[in-house]
């Protein structure tokens, strides 16, 4: 299965490679069929292993630390959350065919929702909000700083650079004004709290319209939990944003920062993935359009 290269330094990964890795590291699984999965993912490649397992391999060196991060923290977080999260069941190690660690997880059923086509939007909004609230309540002492755990204004330079790079592909004046308004919101005043850090449609699984699982905890850590309000604009329709906000327990300042996080992430991702990840680029355009519409 051919997939586009999203990073200059990423490796070519395919099913025969995964079969060799499994045969050497986990021979008891060597008879299971292997097939590559289509994915929104930009950092890791996913391969279905039989009916109950999935193999996750870093695409490039920058994704390698996420594997160890998930192995360390998912066993702590999983039992404290109201929906399923990935469960590591095998730790692959570097060898002559693959230079980095890799992991085997239990398979989680479900499909990625599509912004603008959510089957049960009010129910999904409430369940996502309750997931965010539950994650915030997990003990934060000794936890790592989240990949997106710092103050929102720290993203000012890359956000403005992305706006400049996009040129006339966005309304630069309007998105700059919205970004400046979000960056001026009061900063997080409470203690650091756990956040997933990348609650995009590609990291949410739904089953029958309900939230079935949340995946990819490579960005998870503590900081300003407003980052986990991004689904209000990258997934949920405007009509149920209030349901999500109430379930998550976000105040006005936090909501403003969450909108800023959604806008900044979309603006930075859009030029980078414009050609290499059409689904992610389209979702970024969706986020920008939703925030512009909301602002009138």
pLDDT digits (tens, 9 = 90+) for 130-173: 999 999 999 999 999 999 999 999 999 999 999 999 999 999 99
Fold of 121-295: Aminoglycoside 3'-phosphotransferase; Chain: A, domain 2 (3.90.1200)
pLDDT exceeding 90 applies to what percent of the chain? 89
Domain ranges for the chain: 15-106, 121-295
How far are the Cα atoms of 27, 47, 68, 122 from residue 287, in angstroms, in the given order? 45, 29, 31, 19
pLDDT of residue 7: 59
Rounded-to-integer distance, Cα 169 and Cα 152, Å: 24
Please check whether the two domains, 15-106 and 121-295, share a CATH topology: no
Q: Check whether 3 has a pLDDT greater than 90.
A: no
> To which H or E segment does residue 222 belong?
strand 221-223
pLDDT of residue 270: 96
Is 281 in contact with 274 (CB distance < 8 Å)?
yes
Positions of E strands within the chain: 34-36, 44-49, 53-58, 88-92, 102-106, 193-195, 204-207, 210-214, 221-223
Please write the tens of the pLDDT for every residue from 56-72. Answer: 999 999 899 999 999 99
Any idea which residue has 């109950």 for tokens?
52
CB count, 10 Å around CB of 191?
8
Q: Check whether 40 has a pLDDT greater than 70.
A: no
pLDDT of residue 136: 97
Please write the tens of the pLDDT for every residue from 218-229. Answer: 999 999 999 999
Q: Check whether 12 has a pLDDT greater than 80.
A: yes
User: Which of 36-50, 182-196, 203-217, 269-283 shows the lowest per-residue confidence on average (mean pLDDT)?
Assistant: 36-50
Is 196 in contact with 135 (CB distance < 8 Å)?
yes
Query: Domain spanning 15-106: which superfamily?
Result: Phosphorylase Kinase; domain 1 (3.30.200.20)
Mean pLDDT of the chain: 94
Q: Check whether 2 has a pLDDT greater than 70.
A: no
Rounded-to-integer distance, Cα 160 and Cα 168, Å: 14
pLDDT of residue 1: 41
CA 191 centroid distance within chain: 23
Q: The whole model's pTM is what?
A: 0.93
The torsion angles phi and psi of 144, rounded to 5 degrees, stand at -75, 155
């Amino acid at each position: 299965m051919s997939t586009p290269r999203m990073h200059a330094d990423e490796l070519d990964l395919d099913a025969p490679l995964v079969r060799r890795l499994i045969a050497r590291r986990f021979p008891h699984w060597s008879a299971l069929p292997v097939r590559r999965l289509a994915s929104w993912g930009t950092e890791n490649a996913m391969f279905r292993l039989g009916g109950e397992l999935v193999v996750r391999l870093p695409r490039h060196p920058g994704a390698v630390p996420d594997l160890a991060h998930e192995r360390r923290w998912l066993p702590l977080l999983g039992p404290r959350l109201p929906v399923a999260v990935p469960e590591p069941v095998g730790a692959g190690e570097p060898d002559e065919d693959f230079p980095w660690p890799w992991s085997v997880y239990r398979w989680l059923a479900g499909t990625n929702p599509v912004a603008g086509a959510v089957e049960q939007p009010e129910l999904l909004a409430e369940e996502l909000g309750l997931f965010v609230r539950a994650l915030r309540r997990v003990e934060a002492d000794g936890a790592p700083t989240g990949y997106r755990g710092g103050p929102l204004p720290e993203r000012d330079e890359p956000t403005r650079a992305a706006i400049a790079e996009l040129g006339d592909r966005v309304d630069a004046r309007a998105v700059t004004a919205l970004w400046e308004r979000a960056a001026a919101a009061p900063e997080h005043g409470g203690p650091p709290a756990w956040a997933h850090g990348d609650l995009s449609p590609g990291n949410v699984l739904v089953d029958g319209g309900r939230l079935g699982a949340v995946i990819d905890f490579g960005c998870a850590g503590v900081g300003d939990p407003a980052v986990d309000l991004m689904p209000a604009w990258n997934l949920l329709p405007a009509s149920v944003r209030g349901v999500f906000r109430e379930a998550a327990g976000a105040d006005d300042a936090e909501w403003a920062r969450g909108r800023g996080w959604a806008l900044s992430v979309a603006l930075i991702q859009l030029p980078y993935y414009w050609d290499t990840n059409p689904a992610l680029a389209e979702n970024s355009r969706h986020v920008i359009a939703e925030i512009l519409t909301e602002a009138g």
